[in-house]
Amino acid sequence: MVTKIDYYEALSVSRTASQDELKKAFRKKAMQYHPDRNPGDKEAEQKFKEINAAYEVLRDEEKRAAYDRYGHAAFEGGSGGGGGFGGFGGFDAGGLGDIFEQMFGMGGRRGSTQRSAADIQIQVEVSLKEAFTGVKKEVSVKTRVSCSTCHGTGSADPNSAKTTCPSCHGRGVVRAQQGFFLVERPCPTCQGTGQTVEKPCHTCHGSGTEAATSTVNIDIPAGIEDGTRIRLAGKGEAGSGNIQPGDLYVLVSVESHDLFQREGAHIYCRVPLRMTQAALGTEIEVPVIDGSSAKVKIPAGTQSGETLRLRGKGFSVLHSKARGDMYLQMSIETPQHLTKRQRELLEEFEQENGNQAKASPESTGFFARVKEFFEGS
């Protein structure tokens, strides 16, 4: 038996955590286990999948309510052994199915009895710079549009009679048990219209729609985060008869960058410094995500791992004019492939440095403690 991880434990939050707490915990975990930061680490990859699955459920108040009450069983199929209402000795799930539909929005659009055609989901990749500035994308979408031959009626003869669909009995939808829920889907026989035609259109075979490729313009707002889903109402598959069009969902994927790493509204940049630059201090010029540059003074004696903060040089905040901060993470580079003269200079420096403990207090203190350790042993 496979043990499923507790979603709250996956994010290291309490069961009463607020949405803000969930979001902060998810960001922290995602940064820790992101595949780009753990190349080839299968365990980190699995953790990343687990926290994504957990956040996908807990960020949605309705899914979270179902999970709190029924656990993983709320999202599993099957009706045996308590996996659904069918496992309770002939208990009729029909009535409670309608209640669950009202509570959790299962089957159709919330607050509306209007049936709709299928939704479409596509993925759009944007660069980090495009995510910062916002961008308009023109994409091709494979969809279904109103039939050009019958103009959506589904009939070869506009005067031919229509009969009630024998599969759904005119409802336009069929029900299927999924875990604790009864889910409604458009009837595959009549394509959700509730009626069938005597003489189907030879182009669409009675469905009223045909396959096509359409061009859609998408506005990606500045500050958008990786994994954000944008809904374009009515841009999904076309409906026929009294069926309204479905929606188009655009999943935005933000590409990684060679110089910058993003964490929320903040940007991190690793800056390698030569040993002499760090020791003597210097002034460097660093790039900024908006395309400009900034001059930064590096203090003498800067250590590897130290961070400098540039206020307001970070990422755009979604639906706001504000910006986060930029953090420069110092990395001191040890010189390699020394010339003879460079080696002589460093040897002289080391001899001089060995008699001056305050020049390298951390290493001096460490080896002093090591000496005490062995003498104590």
> Per the annotation, does 168 bind a ligand?
yes
b/e per residue 21-34 (b: at least 16 CB within 10 A)? ebbebbeebbeebb
Q: Is residue 235 packed enough to be buried (19+ CB in 10 Å), middle (13-18) or exposed (0-12)?
A: buried
CA atoms within 13 A on the CB side of 296: 25
* Pick from 234, 254, 229, 256: nearest CA to 59: 229
C-alpha 103/C-alpha 294 separation (Å) is: 53
- Beta strand 260-263 pairing with 248-254: unpaired
Confirm if 299 and 240 have CB atoms less than 8 A apart: no
Q: Report the DSSP pairing between strands 326-333 and 266-274.
A: parallel
Which residues make Cβ contacts (< 8 Å) with residue 271, sequence separation at least 6?
284, 286, 328, 329, 330, 331
Q: Does the annotation flag 147 for ligand binding? A: yes
Max CA pair span of the chain: 105
* Phi, psi (degrees; rounded to nearest 5) at 373: -60, -50
Question: Distance between CA 249 and CA 33 in Å, rounded?
Answer: 27
Report whether 187 belongs to an annotated binding site: yes
Q: Tell me whether residue 269 is annotated as binding.
A: no
Element (H, E) at 209: strand 209-220
| Binding site as annotated, residues for Zn(2+) | 147, 150, 165, 168, 187, 190, 201, 204
Q: Specify binding-site residues.
A: 147, 150, 165, 168, 187, 190, 201, 204
